[in-house]
């Protein structure tokens, strides 16, 4: 093995150590177990609105409590009520539109220009909408989300159960 081979092996070893340290520091931050949909690219942020349209298809049955899910600490409520500063950062890359309908709300969630069909439905009264983001540091001050694989949207019923 010559000097080039040693250089390549050294660089590969350093890269492996670097990636290992990053992986170790991010352990437990995964939202992979979450029932959420993501898309592969990033785009400018938008804020939720209560004045848009959406075709309301029926939503699925209630699941577990949001508070019992592994991503609960990364869930930021965006509807109803005021949106916190942290939730605004987590909304980077999303356009979430909530429309009041008789008996509930219609949610239309778009991430990076892609309709999130898994959460874009009609939900019965008392529903709450949350944006999920386990790493807010990749959201570039609310302008661009450089890694949206840790992002998603969840909707709960009045009892806090995830609807899906």
Question: What are 50-70's pLDDT values in tens digits?
Answer: 333 334 444 457 889 999 999
Assess whether 52 and 130 both reside in one domain. Answer: yes
- Domain range enclosing 92: 31-163
Condensed to tens digits (0 to 9), the pLDDT of residues 98-143 reads 999 999 999 998 887 788 888 888 998 889 999 988 877 766 655 5
How many structural domains is the chain composed of? 2
Assess whether 26 and 68 both reside in one domain. Answer: no
Pair 148, 112: CB distance under 8 Å: yes
What pLDDT, on a 0 to 100 scale, did the predictor assign at position 164? 65
Check whether 162 has a pLDDT greater than 90: yes
Burial class of residue 92 in the structure, from the number of CB atoms within 10 Å of its CB (0-12 exposed, 13-18 middle, 19+ buried): buried
Assess whether 17 and 64 both reside in one domain. Answer: no
Pair 162, 63: CB distance under 8 Å: yes
Instruction: Return the percentage of the chain with pLDDT > 70, whole number.
Output: 65
């Amino acid at each position: 093995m010559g000097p080039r081979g040693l250089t390549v092996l050294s660089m590969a070893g350093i890269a492996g150590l670097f990636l290992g340290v990053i992986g170790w520091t991010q352990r437990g931050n995964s939202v992979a177990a979450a029932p959420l949909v993501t898309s592969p690219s990033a785009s400018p942020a938008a804020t939720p609105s209560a004045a848009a349209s959406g075709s309301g298809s029926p939503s699925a049955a209630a699941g577990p409590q949001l508070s019992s899910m592994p991503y609960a600490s990364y869930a930021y409520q965006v509807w109803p009520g005021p949106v916190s500063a942290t939730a605004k950062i987590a909304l980077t890359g999303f356009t979430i539109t909530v429309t009041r309908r008789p008996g509930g709300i219609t949610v239309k969630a778009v991430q990076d220009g892609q309709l999130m069909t898994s959460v874009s439905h009609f939900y019965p009264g008392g529903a709450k909408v949350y944006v999920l983001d386990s790493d807010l540091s990749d959201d570039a001050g609310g302008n661009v989300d450089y890694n949206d694989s840790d992002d998603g949207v969840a909707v709960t019923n009045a009892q806090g159960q995830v609807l899906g």
